[in-house]
A and B are shown apart, each in its own frame.
Chain A
Amino acid sequence: MTENKASSRNGLLIDYEFCTGCHSCEVACMKELKLPPEQYGIRVLEDGPRKTPKGKWDWTYLPFPTSLCDLCEDRVKAGKKPSCVQHCQAAIMTYGPVEELSKKLAEKPKMVLFTPV
């Protein structure tokens, strides 16, 4: 990995507090990358629903990019957002330089920053 790559690395910032588990990112990605059946460039993991000892419910979805994710290189070159980011129904995904996203990461809890490539 070169210095240049590190300074220009892009990532996905996900506000997973509001991920509803709608699968839009998964299907958007399958279509964009033209993946064969049961292959995913992004997957949504699920925890819960589970009642915590405090009596509250935990039910959390977490989308994470797999090894097939290329951050939609071609789309981004054409001036578009990665397909998962554009189509996310909860609008919780942001694409951009890691440096900028890490600042946003500090702004609220229950966020995660991925750097798939």
Chain B
Amino acid sequence: MSNETWQWQEDGCTVSRSTQWSGPGCHNGCGILYYTKGDKLIKVEGDATNPYNAGRLCMRCLNLTEAVNHPDRLKWPLKRAGNRGENKWERIPWDEAYDIIEEKVKSIKKDYGPESIIGMEGTGRNIIWQVPYLTYAGFESPNYTLGFLSGDACYLPRAAQQAVMQSDFFVTDCAQHFETRYETPEYEVPKVIIIWGNNPIISNGDGFFGHWIIDLMRKGSKLIVIDPKLTWLASKADFWLQLRPGTDSALAMSMLNVIINESLYDKEFVEKWTAGFEKLKECVQEYPPEIASEITWVPKEMIIEAARFYAKNKPAAIQWGLAVDQQVTGISAAQAITSLWTITGNVDVPGGNVISKSGFNVDDGYNCGIEWVSEDTLQKRLGNESYPLKMYGFASTAHGDSVLKAIESGKPYPVKMLWLQTTNPIANMGSEAPRVYDAMRKVDFNVVVDLFMTPTAVACADIVLPAGMSLERDSFRAWFAPLRAISKIIQYEECKSDEQIVLDLGKRLNPAAFPWKTVEEWLEWKFGNAKDHYPDAFQIPWSGKTYRERGNTRGVTFKELQERGWIYADWQYRKYEKGLLRRDRQPGFNTADGKIQLFNTLFDDWGLNPLPYHEEPPESPYSAPELYKEYPLILTSGARSWEFFHSEHRQQPTMRIFHPDPLVTIHPDKAKELGIKDGDWVWLESKRGRCKQKAKLAATLNPKVVSAEHGWWFPEKPGAEPILFGVFDSNINNLTAQCQNGETGYGAPNKGLLCKIYKVTEENSQVMPTMQVTKMGGFGYDRK
């Protein structure tokens, strides 16, 4: 093995050091060694020299050979040959596919305006700047969004709230910004870590290698886990707060109540670096522990003790996750949780919540290329008309629910084309999946770019393009530290990298915005290099966000990064003291007055709640008691599995050996009451629809709560309708809803709805949900 070079020979294989991101993949970007012979992947190993994962890999990466060498991969461009849903395709050359797309885009732009084209991707993976750039600079449309994601409820509520409150991203400090990691002299191990609404060891959300938590536990960190479900981490925690889904805001406000009223907060920090503390103090009086206990179902004493434990042990960090976003008060919960680490002074200090930056700032994510959208067109971004956060530029996407409504109603203007790049909305990203299915089929022209033939592609695509997997593309990972190279090592059939596809099309659609001859040259532009070669591409400012400076690697080229594998940028603690956060280089946070806004004046100006508050989920035992009689269980869904990333990995035999079926977890007492045994197939039903999963009995939940899996489809079943890979049969998104957002437009109550459960029998299973949706018009309820 050699650290001198990124490629070498070993056992008759070429070994290449790179980063595995996606697809297929997750929100990590682990150092990996690919062993290849010619264009075939033989095996993978973790890269022990890469400080990010230090040689460790999860089972999905270890099983990459089954993904990369899978016979069902898309191999060349396809044009629909039968009707939508028939799964009949004709192989066409790339140029023909591009010709068709170019002609359609140009005619739609001419007849309906660029805003009638929607660019979509799945969750934020290695297309987070490429698809936005294609949408904004190629289509010149303002409508880039995450596959119908209701309430943009995946990190975006937290991101938007942070943008307004203090303008930077905070992460739990696991020394991930230093190449020397835990050995870094100024680093401190958090005494306490709160794990809030996620199970990081499985979910690895947002560039966070979840097992760093285990590293820290072994170095002495104690845990507080806030989760309706007993996770393995919760079983090891000093405090497990088993809250009712959707009540995070009330719990956080009550913890603030204890910390403020018992004077356990950091007075010096609050005085110097925050604004609005007195108003927050007044507001938390509405949430004394006895009231919060009634709302959240967490015992009063537990709230008090956990709040004290967090406040009294410094440094302490909060590792938060998706559950924060997936409630109507997503923004509010995020504000309350941010207030916790703020008033305790755990801000940008060793072992606290620290301000992260993407590697050398080269990642401007969802806004990449927005300067190519004209001012008039930008105002037409779907959702702007209803939500000030969107209108005033604190949001980086169109609003998923507003896109859905525009397709359904043709208002405020018709949607004529969907560009779906590695997103599979009817299997995963869209809640109320049958509704999303109907909407997508209504659109005149749809293009799907993906790794495999998905239910979404069969149901609605007119053109399908094959994307290369991670080791088939030159790219990079900058979210967060370090900046990592992703190298093209093999070529699979006619697949092209996402970058190449976007560049090819962009050059046809708007050549001025795509001056680069090769992907590598485009990457140099992202790195802030090659200014002399492409002066035109630099004339327009980097991004719509005036407060964030354009990234640059200070001359490091893509080839150099590839050789080195990764580079850590300079990174410091207490940046607010050092003038490192503001453009004017003055100390403080990047807000108007330089302080963290505990009272959100901008929200106040816009008529939104300036302080955190609890609002009942729209379908809860308290807000909808009549509904609760018919659907007496609280449904949460979306907990991650080791084997799968959302709707991916279902075609890999090894993953299905470990996890063959979709599982719904039910408390044994509740199951007994319902006559359900472990391993029984059961129907889960809400007022919108039903799906079938297998019962797993575990006392890890409150008996009134059940937890179902998401993302299930069955690649082993036929693709043509009415089977459609069985995509609706076990789909929990038959039960969830679109268009139930918070006042900001953000947040969706998908982790806290009402359902009932009953055993599957022959007579109640005559019509399977996929048949019901594809051939019988769906479940027949009023769509709101």
Binds B, one of A5-13, A62-70, A84-92, A95-103: A84-92
Closest chain A residue, CB of each to CB of B215: A91
* Residue numbers in B under 8 Å from A105 (CB-CB): none
Q: Mark B54-81, 1 if CB is under 8 A from A, else 0.
A: 1111110011010000000000000000
Which of A30, A49, A57, A83 contacts B654 (CB under 8 A)? Answer: A30
Contact B235 A58 (CB under 8 A): yes
**B201-239 contact mask (Cβ, 8 Å, vs A): 1 or 0:** 110000000010011011000000000001010111000
Asked if A109 CB lies within 8 Å of chain B CBs, one says: no
Contact B59 A24, beta carbon cutoff 8 Å: yes
A30 to B44 CA separation, bound complex (whole angstroms): 12
Q: Which one, A18, A51, A86, contacts B214 given CB within 8 A?
A: A18
B642 is contacted by which of A23, A31, A51 (Cβ under 8 Å)? A23
> CB-CB < 8 A to A89: which residues of B?
56-58, 201, 211, 214
B45 interfacial by beta-carbon distance below 8 Å: yes
Are B54 and A91 interface neighbours, CB within 8 A? yes
Q: In the complex, are the beta carbons of A48 and B235 less than 8 A apart?
A: yes
0 or 1 for each of A14-35: is its CB under 8 Å from B? (1 = yes): 0100101111101110110000
Take A24-B57, A27-B63 as given contacts and tell me if A49 and B235 are in contact as well, using a CB distance cutoff of 8 Å: yes
Measured CB to CB, the nearest residue on chain B to A48 is B235
- Residue pair A18, B217 in contact (C-beta under 8 Å): yes
Q: Is the CB of A20 within 8 A of B214?
A: yes
Identify which of B48, B211, B698 contacts A90 (C-beta below 8 A): B211
**Contacts A86-B46, A89-B211; A23 near B658 (Cβ below 8 A):** yes
- Give the distance to chain B from A23, nearest Cβ to Cβ, in Å: 5
Set of chain B residues within 8 Å of A53, measured between Cβ atoms:
none
A8 to chain B: closest CB distance in Å?
25
Q: A18-B218, A27-B654, A38-B657 are in contact. Are A86 and B62 (CB under 8 A)?
A: no
In the assembled complex, how far is the CB of residue B663 from the closest CB belonging to chain A, in whole angstroms?
15
Cβ–Cβ contact B217 & A20, under 8 A: no
Q: A86-B48, A89-B56, A91-B56 are in contact. Are A20 and B657 (CB under 8 A)?
A: no
Whether the pair B232, A21 counts as a contact (CB closer than 8 A) is: yes
Q: How far is the CB of A90 from chain B (nearest CB, A)?
A: 5
Q: Is the CB of A86 within 8 A of B55?
A: yes
User: How distant is A81 from chain B, measured CB to nearest CB, in Å?
Assistant: 8
Residues from chain B with Cβ under 8 Å of A22 in the complex = 58-59, 201-202, 211, 642
B214: chain A residues within 8 A (beta carbon)? 18, 20, 89-91
B699 CB–A CB distance under 8 Å: yes
Query: Chain A residues with Cβ under 8 A from B63's Cβ?
Result: 27, 31
Contacts of A87 in B (CB 8 A): 45-46, 55-57, 62
Verify B657–A24 contact, CB threshold 8 A. no
Majority secondary structure, A binding face: mixed
* Distance (whole angstroms) from the CB of B722 to the closest CB of chain A: 31
1/0 contact trace for B162-196 toward A, CB 8 Å? 00000000000000000000000000000000000
Checking B45, B46, B59, B230 against A27 with a beta-carbon cut-off of 8 angstroms, the contacting residue is B59
Determine the distance from Cα of A28 to Cα of B654 in the docked complex, in whole angstroms: 12
Closest CB of chain B to A24's CB: distance in Å?
6
Separation of A26 and B659 alpha carbons in the complex (Å): 14
B653: Cβ under 8 A from any A Cβ: yes
Measured between beta carbons, the chain B residues less than 8 angstroms from A79 are 1
Chain A CB within 8 A of B693 CB: no
- Which residues from 682 to 729 on chain B have a C-beta closer than 8 Å to any C-beta of chain A? 698-700
A40 to B461, CA, bound (A): 41
CB neighbours of A58 from chain B (8 A):
235
Q: How far is the CA of A26 from the CA of B666 in the complex (A)?
A: 27
Complex formed: what's the CA distance from A28 to B63 in Å? Answer: 8
Q: Indicate if the CB atoms of A57 and B230 lie closer than 8 Å.
A: yes
In the complex, which residues of chain B have a beta carbon less than 8 angstroms from the beta carbon of A15?
218
Provide the bound-state CA to CA distance between A89 and B28, in Å: 13
Given A49-B230, A87-B46, A90-B211, A26:B235 Cβ within 8 A = no
B43 within 8 A of partner (CB): yes
Q: What are the residues of chain B within 8 A of A31 when measuring CB–CB? A: 43, 62-63, 65
Nearest Cβ distance between residue B369 and chain A, in whole angstroms? 36
A88 and chain B: residue at smallest CB distance: B56
Identity of the chain B residue whose Cβ is nearest the Cβ of A22 in the assembled complex: B642
CB distance from B231 to the nearest CB of A (A): 9
What is the CA–CA distance of A51 and B63 in the complex, to the nearest angstrom?
A: 34
For B202, B232, B658, the residue with the greatest tally of chain A CB atoms inside 10 Å of its CB is B232
Nearest CB in chain A: distance from B526 CB, A: 31
Tell me if B700 and A49 are in contact (CB < 8 A): yes
A49 touches B699 (CB 8 A): yes
- A28, B232: Cα distance in complex, Å: 22
Q: Kindly state the separation between the CA atoms of A28 and B45 in the bound complex, as whole angstroms.
A: 9
Interface flags, B477-505, vs A, CB<8A=1, else 0: 00000000000000000000000000000
User: Shortest CB–CB separation between residue A5 and chain B, in angstroms?
Assistant: 28
Residues of B233-288 at the interface with A, using a CB-CB cut-off of 8 Å, are 234-236, 240
Residue of A nearest to B209 (CB): A89
> Distance in Å from the Cβ of A10 to the closest Cβ of chain B?
19
In the assembly, what is the distance between CA of A54 and CA of B58, in Å? 34
Question: Which residues of A sit under 8 angstroms from B215, Cβ to Cβ?
Answer: 91
CB distance from B204 to the nearest CB of A (A): 10
CA distance A24 to B235 in the complex (A): 21
A57 to B233, CA, bound (A): 11
Nearest-neighbour CB distance to chain B for A27, whole angstroms, equals 4
Nearest CB of chain B from residue A64's CB, rounded to whole Å: 17
Residue on A nearest B211 in the bound complex, by CB: A89
Q: How far is the CA of A51 from the CA of B57 in the complex (A)?
A: 31
Given the contacts A49-B230, A90-B214, A24 and B58 also touching, CB distance less than 8 Å: yes
Determine the residue in chain B with the shortest Cβ distance to A79.
Answer: B1
Q: CB within 8 A of A51: which of B202, B654, B699?
A: B699
Shortest beta-carbon distance from B13 to chain A in Å: 13
Inter-chain CA distance A23–B1, complex, in Å, is 26
With A20-B214, A23-B658, A89-B211 already in contact, the answer to whether A49 and B698 are too (CB < 8 A) is yes
Residue of B nearest to A34 (CB): B43
Do A37 and B653 touch (CB < 8 A)? yes
Chain B contacts for A59, CB-based, 8 A? 230, 232, 235-236
Q: In the assembly, what is the distance between CA of A51 and CA of B556, in Å? A: 55
**Distance, CA A79 to CA B11, complexed state (A):** 13
Across the interface, which residues of B come within 8 angstroms of A38, CB to CB?
Answer: 657
A91 to B215 CA separation, bound complex (whole angstroms): 8
Q: How far is the CA of A24 from the CA of B210 in the complex (A)?
A: 14
In angstroms, Cα B217 to Cα A15, docked, is: 13
Q: List 13 A-B contacts (CB under 8 A).
A: A20-B214, A24-B56, A27-B62, A38-B657, A49-B230, A57-B234, A57-B235, A59-B235, A79-B1, A88-B56, A90-B211, A91-B54, A91-B214
Q: Which 9 A-B pairs have the closest CB atoms?
A: A57-B235, A59-B235, A27-B59, A89-B211, A27-B62, A90-B214, A23-B59, A89-B56, A87-B57
Besides A24-B57, A89-B57, A91-B56, 4 other CB < 8 A contacts?
A23-B643, A24-B62, A51-B699, A91-B54
Residues of A within 8 A of B (CB): 15, 18, 20-24, 26-28, 30-31, 37-38, 48-49, 51, 57-59, 79, 83, 86-91
Interfacial residues, chain B to chain A (CB-CB below 8 A): 1, 43, 45-46, 48, 54-59, 62-63, 65, 201-202, 211, 214-215, 217-218, 230, 232, 234-236, 240, 642-643, 653-654, 657-658, 698-700
